[in-house]
Every structure is written in structure tokens, then in C-alpha cells.
Structure 1
Amino acid sequence: MYIKVYCILVHKNPLQLKNLLSILDDEKSLFFIHLDKKVNQIEYKMILQNSNCHFVKNRIACSWGKYSLVQAALNTMKEVQDYMNNNYSSSNYHFIMLSGEDLPLKTNCYIHDYLEKNIKTSLINYWKLPYENWWNGGFFRFESFYFFDYKKFKKLNYWVNRIIKKIHLNFLFPLNRFRKYFPSFQIYGASQWMVLSKDLVAFVIEKNNSNPKFNSIFKYVLAPDELYFATLILNYDLEQQFVINNNPTHLVCFEGLEASPKYLDVQDLEYNKSANLLFARKFDPHINQKTIDFAYKMISK
């Protein structure tokens, strides 16, 4: 038996989440919802009366650019693994990362058939640093500590790091620690929106549990959700025992130098209609309802 297990990171718009689940629910899927700990669960639980829907118990208060997003994904992986071992021990599954602002670009039948045919394959869109599409190749994310919210407290982060450099504690910076303790490892960036096989989920959990020093390096880097998983998987999988398809799963569009993706418009979907992408982000009924309607039409044909 093959099952799709969706991990959905959510922090707003319960009705939007309900609509997403209604689209994806094909009776061949399970949904594990990680609600930001800052969000009250009651409203969500009232409208999501679905036996296939499970709320992650070990919730994290999430912030953009912080390790909390990595921890939220890890906590969800562990709860998924426990649940599947207890209830579907003989079944295969993929662990599919989504946000509450995502929508599918393909039908449920297409997604299910494609993933079932590639049951041992994981989908991770990754690249080795330096990466030309990231400022300074992306290494700036490791060259300082990001103790505080990057968007709100840029100056505070700057001055704290300037003091650290002035008192000659540069060796504590994440990049220097990484090179000291893991000299043979490469740093990889990747899309946060991954599709992991059952075996790779188990591998990530095992390596996360057994490598506290590796984990600690990523605690104060910038946007570690785009760094941690690919760097862990591609370095610790020395024997290349896992099949990883390095192709994007999501349509995501950025404008200029903005750190966060834009809300999609109809032209974005039209332009990428022929691409073999499974999902898209991001959507909000208060911002781009016309694009949401167009996406519905795409998958209903």
C-alpha cells in the first residue's frame, strides 16, 4: 500500500487550509498540520473534522529565517514516523512538505501515480554553495550570527556581530565552526519544499538525533530551512544509498531582491503551465483570488 503524507506548515487563514485539504483529500493521503505555536488551535480544529487530518503535538513558534522552521519540520517528521510505524508499518509513503499558502498544479491522480511509480525517489531541488542566485554565493548566511529577526532587527544583528568580531571571537561563527568540525563536508542550499521517501525520512531523523554538533551550527544561520536538510542528507549519505531527483516540485516566483516569494498572478501560472511542477506558492484569497480560481480550473480539466 502506498500513502501520501502531507506535512503542512500553517500560521494563518484556517478556511484557506480547509480548502487546500478538500482539494488534496483523495482518500489516499494523510495530513499532518503543524500550526505555529503562536496560533490558537481551537478555530482550526473546529473546522477540520477529518479523520485523515492530524495536528502535530510538539508545535514550535515559527519565525521567518530562523531555525524554528527546521525544528517544526523535524518534529512533524518524527510524529509522522511514529504514526506510520504504529498504523501503517507495511506501507510505503512520501513525506510531502507544503505550506498553508500552497495549491497543487496537478490532479491528485497525477500526483499519486507519479510518486507511487517513484516510490524510492525523493525530490529535493538543491545546489552547492557558492550559488550564483544568492548574494555572496550564500555564504553570508553562515558568516555571522542571526540571533534576532533578520527583517525587523537588521541593525541589531549587525552591531552584535561587529562586537563579536572586535573581541576576536570570529571562530564561533557558524561557517568557521562548520569548516573546523566538518572539513570534508560541502554546504548545500535547497528549496524547503521537499518530497522525501519513507527511508530518507528515517535517515534524516537518525542523523538529526545522533549529530548535535552538526545541528547546533545551524541554530543561528540565516534561513536554515534552505540549508540544513540538503547539507545533512548529501554529506551523510556517503554511499549515495538514496535516489534523489534534483528538480523543483514547486512554482515559486520572486520579485527583485525580495527575500520572500511574491503572491502569484495568473500570468505566472500560464507561463509555467507546461512545466512538470506538482505544487505552487503562494496564494491568499484576500490578495490573489483570481489566481486561485485559475489554479482550480487547471486541475479540474
Structure 2
Amino acid sequence: MNEIAILIIAHKNQTQLELLLSNLADDFDLYVHIDKTSAINKEELTAKYPNIRFYSKLHVVWGGYNLSACSLFLFQQAYKGNYKYYALISGQDLPLLSNEEIKNFIYKNDSSYIVSDKLPIKHWAYNGGINRYELYWEHDITGNSLWDTFRRKLIGNIRKIQLKYNTRRPFYKGMDVYGGSNWVLLRQDAMDYLISFIDENPRFMKRLKYCFCTDELWMQTILATSNCKIKNEHITHLDWGTGPEYPRTLRIEDYDNIRKKTCPFARKFDSEVDNEIIEKLLDSRNSSI
């Protein structure tokens, strides 16, 4: 039985996703959530990869609650397998190390990897991130009906009133809020703690609705003050500084810089933007096996 589960949140580029799956499937148990509105053919992938668990439960939009809910859903599904380690990545990630090297990295360090700092975070927008949860946001309303349009405008106006009169929403039970990357590696002790907390505090996730980008807040807040063995480090290399996208969609000119990184994974890649970097990284990775 594999001791490492890799959880993947995917929404586009089926061919690129299949490259990721085919490079990992032999050595890890994979749990893949495909966006409910995605053009990716879940039935085709299920037939092609019978040992991979595929789900298509939620529609995930940037900034909305469902990215947090999707992460938790995958954690809950994989937790049933009683693994020692759980890595959460996206369908636009690539492994930088061979599968054996990824395993060695995980076993040698024997720790959770969660980037987590107490808010306010100086370089974060929206009042150091505090406005993400103290104000109301409309990203969870994704429909195009007149009712949905009205609700979006209503919540936007409520936020303006909050800012004008400085009216804020307290966080769950007065907890200090921590934030960081949502792409993490959880050791079994951290996963036990996380799942237990959610089970014992069912209202916690509900508090995240009508907030903004809580995928970078929820598990970080729960685990930051635990006694679990955690390194405040990335398992996934990202470029937040170069642009033009944030994080940057990595291109062939980034190749040399990426190869210097020691993280097991890197993101984000898009075959529709630059497929050459994907092919070159995977060729380099597989040539070392």
C-alpha cells in the first residue's frame, strides 16, 4: 500500500493533466477533483486510469469559498485511506523531482509543509489580508440570473457600507487568523488534527462563506497553533514577483531558474501558453530516473 496520497485540483487542459497523472500514478495514490463545469472528460479519464479516484463535485471560482471546500473534500476522501502523508497540488503543477526523489524528500524531512504567517501580512492587499474575512465578498455567487446579479450588487454595497462605517465581522470564536499558500504537504498528525477540528467545529467552514480567497486562510489558521510538526516552507515553487500573471505562468525562459529549485513541485504551467517548458521539464526529470 502506498503511504503517500497526492490530491489534485484540476479545471482545464486535459492533455496537460494527463501528463501530470501519468508521471505520478505508478508510485502514489492520486485523488483528483475535476471542476464541475470543466470540459475535461471525467468518464474518459476514469476508464484510462482505473486506479485513480476522480471526483467532480464542485464548481470552483477564483476567490470563492469552493476552493477551500474542494481542498477539504479531497482531504476527507483521502483520509479514509489512512496515509502517512498528503500532498495538495493543482492540475497545472509539474513534478520537478523523480517519484523516488519526491518520496525521499518527504520521508527524509518527515514534516508537514505549510506556509503560514499571522495576519496582517505586510505584502498582502486588503488590509494585510484582514479584509478578506472581516468584510462580505460576492465571489461565491456565480450564477447569471437576475437574482444572482442582484445579490452580487447587494453584497458589494454591504461591503462599501462596512468600509464607510468600519463595521467588521469577528472571526470564528475569536481565533487568530493565519495565511499562506494553499498548496501543502500534510503529515498524518496534521491531517488527524485538521479533520478532527472540522468534525468538532462544523460551523467553522460556514464562516468562510462570502469571504475572499479563504483557501489561503482556513487550514493555515487551524494548524498554525497546533503541536504538529510543521515547516513554514513551500513544497511548490511559485513566481509571485515577475508577472504578467500572479502567480506567473512559467515559460521556457524560466527553465534554468526552475531547475535550481529544491521543491518537489512547481506551478503554474499552461500548455496553451508555453508547452515547450512542460516538455523540457518532464524530459529532464524522466531522464534522471
Aligned partner of 1:199 in structure 2 is 189
> 1:21: how far off?
0.8
Q: 2:43 aligns with which of 39, 45, 62?
A: 45
C-alpha deviations, 1:112-136, integer Å up to 9, x for none? 11212334x1111222212122123
Q: 1:142 aligns with which of 126, 133, 137?
A: 133
C-alpha deviations, 1:58-110, integer Å up to 9, x for none? x111111111011111111111122x15xxxxxx4311111111101111111
> Aligned residues, how many?
278
Aligned partner of 1:131 in structure 2 is 121
CA contact (8 A) 1:35 1:55 kept: yes
> 1:147: how far off?
2.3
Aligned partner of 1:261 in structure 2 is 247
Provide the aligned C-alpha RMSD in A.
Answer: 2.8
CA contact (8 A) 2:65 2:215 kept: yes
1:159 aligns with 2:157: yes
Q: 1:296 to 1:81 in 2, by over 3 A?
A: same
CA contact (8 A) 1:186 1:231 kept: yes
Instruction: Name whichever of 258-267 and 273-282 sits farther off.
Output: 258-267
CA contact (8 A) 1:20 1:100 kept: yes
**Residues of 2 paired with 1:245 and 1:6: CA distance?**
19
**Residues of 2 paired with 1:99 and 1:109: CA distance?**
20
> 1:249: how far off?
1.1
CA contact (8 A) 1:11 1:100 kept: yes
Aligned partner of 1:290 in structure 2 is 276
CA contact (8 A) 2:65 2:209 kept: yes
Q: 1:10 to 1:272 in 2, by over 3 A?
A: closer
Aligned partner of 2:236 in structure 1 is 250
**Residues of 1 paired with 2:231 and 2:141: CA distance?**
31
Q: 1:47 to 1:36 in 2, by over 3 A?
A: closer
> 1:258: how far off?
7.1
> 1:162: how far off?
2.4
Aligned residues with identical type, % of pairs: 28
1:215 aligns with 2:201: no
Aligned partner of 2:72 in structure 1 is 74
Q: 2:97 aligns with which of 99, 106, 114?
A: 106
Instruction: Name whichever of 72-81 and 151-160 sits farther off.
Output: 151-160
Q: 1:170 aligns with which of 167, 172, 184?
A: 167
Q: Residue type of the partner of 1:61?
A: H
Aligned partner of 2:9 in structure 1 is 9
**Residues of 2 paired with 1:28 and 1:81: CA distance?**
18
User: Structure 2 stretches of 5 or more lacking a match?
Assistant: none
Q: Residue type of the partner of 1:56?
A: Y
Q: TM-score, normalised by structure 2?
A: 0.85
